[in-house]
Amino acid sequence: MIRINKEIPKDKLRLLIFDLDGTLVDSRKDLANSINAMLGNYQRAQLADDIIATFIGDGAPTLVRRSLGFTDDHDLGAKEEEFIEDALVFFLEYYREHKLDFTYAYEGVKEALNMIAGTPGGYAVLSNKPVNPSRAIVNALGLGGYFKSVYGGNSFETKKPDPLASIHCFANMESRQSKR
């Protein structure tokens, strides 16, 4: 049950920005399957879905890097960087074909979006997942009509939680509104 402590008037909201994975949709199974396909391609041991889920959230390059056993602070040599880049390409190609095998919108997402419909600035999706699969997932799951924009981890110079992406979302929304 949702408890509202202080209601925010809709007319005061400029833009609502939603994350995709873990907020609007559950994509863990497709991500885990794609990581395990990549690991199998390189004769690496598969990982449990629950382990892979702990690596999700900071974009595809970091997901692949962590799944290959490299820590975030590990200084990589040229061969390791090249290997991770090759693995990332394989992962992205596989995921592109399998991103909707098991991914689904969480129960109640459409109903919640309908309840808050009418926000003057509208809604945007901001994901660390690359923009093309993000848009494809949003559209395939029937969520596209709710969002004025969908941005991915490759839409801006930095990824969340860096505020630059949110700043760009607001700037793009204001630019669109001023053209009306």
Active-site residues, by number, are 19
Left, alpha or beta for 151 (phi > 0: left; psi -120 to 50: alpha)?
beta
Nearest alpha carbon to residue 134 among 146, 122, 148, 151: 151
Q: First CA to last CA across the chain, in angstroms?
A: 38
For 94, list phi and psi in degrees, rounded to 5. -65, -45
Let me know: does 33 contact 101? Beta carbons within 8 Å: yes
